[in-house]
Amino acid sequence: MVKLSVVVPFYNVQEYAPDTLSSLRANAREDFEFLLVDDCSADGTPELLTRAARELPGAVLLTHSRNGGLATARNTGIDAARGEYLAFLDGDDWLAPGHLSRVLAAIEGLGCDFVRTDHVRCEGRARSVRRVPVGRRGEVLRPRDAILPAGRPTSVDYPYAWAGMYHRRLADRGLLHFTDGLRTAEDRPWIWRLHREADSFAVVGALGVFYRRGVSTSLTQIGDVRQLDFLRAFDQVLAETADDPEADILLPKAVRTYCAIIAHHLHASERYEPPVARQLRRLGAAALKRMPQAVLDGALDSMDAGRASRLRRLRRRPVPAEATV
């Protein structure tokens, strides 16, 4: 029986994949499987994965005939997974030896739907610990209770799929799949859905995921139109949250977060290609007009003056009728 399935998408990461694969080997057990998803890489990544499929215990190689993006690649792995539990890792990150076994022991001991863990962010030679913004640790909690308050970071603002482990019953309920085709912010609708609909979770002190920040092939470093998928992602968050029985309580958090992300992208728009920067402003203005306006007023009033002013100017911008993502 497979106890744990680990879904690992790869796309053009030949420089980093050896570290990732080596760390999986240092976590291997007879009851673990590693679902290596090649998302139609065009560099030396496929050769590395072909060799890993022969040499890494529990490795299963899955390949895409066309590039679908991280969300779609993760779904391919989820669909093939046989484990009682699931976990994720990205193809340019790595794990400490034995990390997966420690997290598995924690979630089995707690008996909850999913657990979240801290991680180490790696930027060049610099290392910094990023913690789940939940104060109570090692205790089973109600995920819905970890969404609020609106005015400070909470568990839904820590969306990293690879920072945790998930019971198969979540996949069986349709809660683990990502929105196909999203090229960025794919984890935002995902983490909100988990916290609205799962029954239980916990934060555990297992620091063992190393997240490589600033990789040149990452979409966070690329200024093309794919970056604008965050608008589709947050439109989905708003639409699904608006259908929730507690929408009046949860929407202020969703709207404020969406506003903060729009403001962040506006502030960083100089790194975008000029047509993409113009499209960002046009689509951002349309997004503000789609939001519940009374909730938006409250969100802007709660933000610092700089971001609020930037967003209010954008809100006043005329929007063509065809301005959709």
Where residue 168 falls among pLDDT bands split at 50, 70, 90? Answer: very high
Domains of the chain listed by start with CATH number: 4-219 (3.90.550.10), 223-315 (no CATH)
pLDDT band at 325 (very low <50, low <70, confident <90, very high): low
pLDDT tens, position by position, 54-86: 999 999 999 999 999 999 999 999 999 999 999
Confidence of residue 220 (pLDDT cuts 50, 70, 90): very low
Q: Which of 27, 32, 18 is nearest to 97 (CA)?
A: 27
> pLDDT class for 251, splitting at 50, 70, 90?
very high
For position 214, what pLDDT does the model report?
79
Beta-sheet strands, E only, within the chain = 4-10, 32-38, 59-63, 85-88, 94-95, 114-117, 119-123, 126-130, 164-167, 201-204, 209-212
Question: What is the per-residue pLDDT for 302?
Answer: 95
| The pLDDT of residue 224 | 75
What does pLDDT average to over the chain?
A: 95
Q: Poorest-confidence range of 206-210, 236-240, 269-273?
A: 269-273
**For residue 154, pLDDT beyond 80:** yes
- DSSP E strands, 15-91: 32-38, 59-63, 85-88
Range 302-306 average pLDDT: 95
| Burial profile 152-183: b = 16 or more Cβ within 10 angstroms, e = fewer | eebbbebbbbbbbbbbbebbeeebbebbeebb
Partners of 168 in beta bridges: none
pLDDT (tens digit per residue) in 83-135: 999 999 999 999 999 999 999 999 999 999 999 999 999 999 999 999 999 99
Please give the structure tokens belonging to residue 276: 């993409």
Please state whether beta strands 85-88 and 164-167 pair in parallel, antiparallel, or not at all (unpaired).
Answer: antiparallel
Residue 10: pLDDT above 80? Answer: yes
